[in-house]
A and B are shown apart, each in its own frame.
Chain A
C-alpha cells in the first residue's frame, strides 16, 4: 500500500459495520483528511458500536466515547484542556443524525455559540440505525421507518428534514459544509478545510445505509450519487454564513432515487402515489432553486 496506507491504519479493518457501510467509509475518509494528530469524540451510535466492542478498537487515533448526546460538550472540554496544555491536536466530534439533529443539539448549540475550535461531523444516514431504523429529525419526507411506517393512513415520515447546516451557520460558524460518501475527494477536501479553520465548523455527510434504506450493499455510492443528481441532497459550502460553493447537476426526476430504496416503496406499490411523489419532487425543486444547482442544457 502507498498513499492510503496511513489512512487504512488510522481506521482499521475488523470493525463490525454491515458490508457496504457508508459510515465506515466516512470514518476512513475523515481520518485520511484529518490525519493522525486528531482526537475523535464519538457519540453513541452505529459507528461507535461497530468500531469499539471491548477489547477491540478500530481507531488508531485517540478516540473517546462518553454518551449519546454529549460529544460536543466533551469536545469543548478537550479543546479547553489542549489549549491549557499548549497542545495542537485537532478535535473532531463525530455523531450520527440522531445524536446531531435531535438529542445532542443542546450541546452542539452551546459549543458552537462558545466558539470552541473543533469540527463537528455528522454522518447522516437519516434515521436511528443503531436501534433499528427509527425516524429522526433528519429523516426525509415520506421515508418509511420503524417509527414512521407507511400504512393505510400514513405515507411514512410526515415531516421534511431539519435544516441543521443553516441552524449552525446562524450560530456564526465560520465554515459549514455538506458532503457525500459518493464523492470522496470532495468530502476529504471539506474535512481538511474544516479542521484547519479556527472556530467551530460543521460538516454533514450523506451516508446511505443499505440496511436501513433497503438497497443492496454494492449500491451505497450509486444511491449517494442519485440523491445529489435528483436534488434531494445538495453538496455545498457556507463560509461566514454565505453559500460559496455548490455542486451543480443535470437533474433527474426524484423517482430515479426513490425507486431504488425500500423505504420509499409504498409510493410505488401497490400503486403509484403521484400526489406524494409530486411533493417530494417539489422539495427537490425548492433545493434546486435555493442553491442554484441546475445545469441548464442547451436545446
Chain B
C-alpha cells in the first residue's frame, strides 16, 4: 500500500518489519528520526526488540556485534562522525563475520563541521569489509534493508552491510512509499539463523588473534565472501522483484544507456536529478545515459564493463574525495575500464550538501564532451583566483 512517508520513517518501518532482536543506536543528525521511530515501536510493543540506548556510536556497534554473536538479528543506524567513531568496530564486525545491518544516512565528514549530505562517510569505510548498497529514493532505501539482511545473513556471505541513503535529501523528504505487509516481509526474510553463536551448550571462542601464519587467509576469506556477494545480491534482488514487483535484480541500474555516447556514473539520490537531466538532454538530441551503482562493495566490475562498453566518455559524479587523489568511484571505474579506449573523467560534486540541479548535470556532460574533467565542480570563484 502506498503511503506518503518521510524517508527516515519508511526506513524505520522496514527495519521493524525485518524483526531485529536487538537494536543499539546513538542519536546523530540526520539519522535521529529513524532511531526515534524505532524507539516508539519498541515503546508501543509493535516490534519485539531489545533497544539499547548506548552512550556512543562506538558502543552502538559494539553492542550489535555482541548481540549478533549471541544469535540475534541486529540493527543500528548512524552517519558521518558517528560512523567514524565506529571505525574500529566496523573492521571487527566484518572480520568476525557478523551480519550486522546498519543504515548510513550519508553526511559529510568534518572538519569543517557539516550536517549536510555527501557520501564521504560510508565511502571512507570502503575497505572495512562491509557490503555497501546505495539507494536513489525512499522506496529503494526502505526495500534495500530487506535485501541487505537476506544477503548479509546468507551463509554463503556472512558479512555486515551498510544501506546508504542521502541525509536530508532522502531522510527528511516525504515521498510515496509502498510498504511491505508483515506477512510479505516474513515470507521474504525468514528468522535469523546464525552460522554459530555464543552458547554454553556448544562453547566456541570468537575473535582469536591470528599470527602471520594465518592472518592473510582470514582476509582472503572476507574477500571471497565479498566476491560471492556479487551473485547473491542480484539473487536476493531478483527474488524481491518477483515477489513485490520492484526491480533490484542488478548491482547496477542503467538508464537510457544503450545508445549513449556519454555515460554518467553516480550513486544515491543524485541519480534522480541525473535521470531528469538526461531526459532533457535526450530531447535536445544528446545521447546521454546513466549507470547507477546500487552496490559499491562488492564493486560490480563486470556489470560496469558491460554497461559502459559502448560509450566513448564517462563522467563520474563523486560525492566524496580521496584527498590527494580522486573521487573513489572514478578510481574504481577507471580500474574497471582499464585497457579500453573510454575516457573517464571525474567530477567532485555536491560536497557538504551543495545543491545539484539539472543544469549542473548538463554542464558536467558538456565539460566531459569537451574533455575537461577531474575537477571539483561548482567551486566559488574566489578560491580559483
Contact = CB atoms under 8 A, between A and B. Distances in A.
A82 B70 contact: yes
Given A64-B66, A75-B66, A114 B203 contact: no
B312 interface: no
Of residues A48, A55, A78, A107, which shows the largest number of chain B Cβ atoms within 10 Å of its Cβ? A78
B55 A109 contact: yes
B284 interface: no
A49 B54 CA distance: 28
B62 interface: yes
A73 B208 contact: no
Given A38-B200, A73-B54, A114-B52, A67 B70 contact: no
B13 to A, nearest CB: 20
B209 A107 contact: no
Contacts of A66: 62, 65-66, 89, 92, 96, 207
Contact of A80 (B52, B56, B58): B52
A101 interface: no
Contacts of B204: 62-63
A85 B89 contact: no
A16 B308 CA distance: 56
Contacts, number: 160
B45 to A, nearest CB: 13
B128 to A, nearest CB: 14
A114 B59 CA distance: 12
A14 to B, nearest CB: 13
Interface in B176-233: 198-200, 203-211, 214
B66 A78 contact: yes
B162 to A, nearest CB: 19
Given A39-B200, A63-B206, A110 B71 contact: no
Interface in B49-74: 49-50, 52-56, 58-59, 62-72, 74
Contact of A113 (B24, B55, B66, B70): B55
Contact of A81 (B22, B48, B55, B58): B22
B21 interface: yes
A61 B200 CA distance: 6
B88 interface: yes
A80 B51 CA distance: 8
B52 A76 contact: yes
Given A54-B214, A62-B198, A110-B59, A77 B70 contact: yes
A63 B205 contact: yes
B165 to A, nearest CB: 25
B66 A52 contact: no
B59 A70 contact: yes
A53 interface: yes
Interface in B6-37: 21-22, 24
A57 interface: yes
Interface in A64-111: 64-67, 69-70, 73-78, 80-85, 87, 89, 106-107, 109-111
A64 B198 contact: yes
B65 A74 contact: yes
A121 B70 CA distance: 20
A64 B200 CA distance: 12
Contacts of B200: 36-39, 61-62, 89
Contact of B50 (A53, A64, A84): A84
B70 A73 contact: no
Instruction: Please tell me the size bucket of the interface on A.
Output: 35 or more
Contacts of B214: 54-55
Interface residues of B, number: 42
Interface in A108-158: 109-111, 113-114
A264 interface: no
Nearest to A54: B208
A82 B71 CA distance: 8
Contact of A53 (B53, B96, B211): B211
Contacts of B49: 84
A36 B199 CA distance: 10
B62 A77 contact: yes
A41 interface: yes
A118 B111 CA distance: 38
Given A73-B63, A80-B50, A110-B55, A62 B203 contact: yes
Contact of A77 (B52, B53, B209, B210): B52
Contacts of B54: 73, 76, 110, 114
Interface string A177-210: 0000000000000000000000000000000000
Contacts of A59: 203, 205
Contacts of A114: 52-54
A114 B52 CA distance: 8
A56 B214 CA distance: 12
Contacts of A80: 22, 24, 50, 52, 63, 67, 72
Interface in B320-368: none
A80 B49 CA distance: 9
A140 B88 CA distance: 30
B65 A77 contact: yes
A39 B59 contact: no
A78 B198 contact: yes
A259 interface: no
Contacts of B209: 48-49, 52-54, 65
Given A81-B74, A107-B62, 18 more contacts: A39-B198, A52-B205, A62-B205, A63-B198, A70-B59, A73-B54, A73-B63, A73-B66, A74-B65, A76-B62, A76-B63, A77-B52, A77-B66, A77-B68, A80-B63, A81-B21, A107-B59, A111-B59
Interface of A: 36-39, 41, 48-49, 52-57, 59-67, 69-70, 73-78, 80-85, 87, 89, 106-107, 109-111, 113-114
26 contacts: A41-B66, A54-B211, A59-B205, A60-B203, A62-B199, A62-B205, A64-B205, A64-B206, A64-B207, A66-B62, A66-B66, A67-B88, A69-B58, A70-B62, A73-B58, A73-B59, A74-B69, A76-B52, A77-B22, A77-B52, A77-B64, A77-B69, A81-B50, A89-B200, A107-B56, A107-B59
In the A-B complex, the 4 residue pairs with the smallest Cβ-Cβ separation, listed nearest first, are: A77-B66, A110-B55, A77-B63, A73-B62
